[in-house]
């Protein structure tokens, strides 16, 4: 078995760790909503929609821990808490904007591909035959 140099293994481990954090949909949506503005907890929850209070709390804590989001508590009654992107967090907005653009541009093509795949798998299941596989370099 081939071993990798320690620095490559460390980079892969770090990449996996970072992608686990910023690759989940809630983190992406939070960073997208905080792009260029500061929001209170409930404003953020309503802007995202579909996220539970617990999931928003956990995701914000993780983003804060990773240095991507700041949490500012104002000593008022009741306390006012606001969230904003840090300088590091703002560096994520460009790649996330690119993902949003890609998703918007390609959502119809992805939906069509899924429908074709599902229809192919369904028809294969009904006939009992194995699905057609495509192999790189194989001629059809």
Q: Which architecture does CATH list for 6-91?
A: Orthogonal Bundle (1.10)
pTM above 0.85, yes or no: no
Residue 7 confidence class, pLDDT cut points 50, 70, 90: low
> pLDDT > 90: what percent of the chain?
59
Among candidates 50, 48, 57, which has minimal Cα distance to 28? 48
pLDDT of residue 135: 64
DSSP-assigned letters across all residues of 99-132: HHHHHHHHHHHHHHHHHHHHHHHHHHHHHTPPPP
The SS3 call for residue 91 is: coil
Task: For 77-112, write each residue's pLDDT tens digit.
Answer: 988 999 999 999 999 999 888 988 999 999 999 999
Confidence check: pLDDT of 139 > 80: no
Residue boundaries of the structural domains of the chain: 6-91
């Amino acid at each position: 078995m081939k071993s990798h140099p320690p620095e490559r293994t460390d980079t892969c481990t770090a990449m996996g760790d970072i992608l686990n954090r910023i690759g989940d949909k809630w983190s992406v949506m939070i960073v997208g909503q905080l792009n260029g503005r500061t929001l209170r907890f409930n404003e953020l929850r309503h802007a995202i929609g579909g996220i539970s209070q617990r999931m928003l709390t956990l995701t914000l804590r993780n983003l804060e821990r990773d240095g991507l989001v700041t949490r500012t508590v104002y000593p008022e009654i009741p306390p006012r808490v606001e969230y904003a992107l840090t300088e590091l967090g703002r560096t994520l907005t460009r790649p996330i904007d690119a993902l949003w653009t890609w998703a918007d541009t390609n959502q119809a093509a992805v939906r069509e591909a899924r429908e074709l795949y599902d229809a192919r798998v369904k028809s294969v299941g009904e006939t009992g035959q194995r699905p057609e596989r495509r192999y790189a370099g194989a001629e059809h």
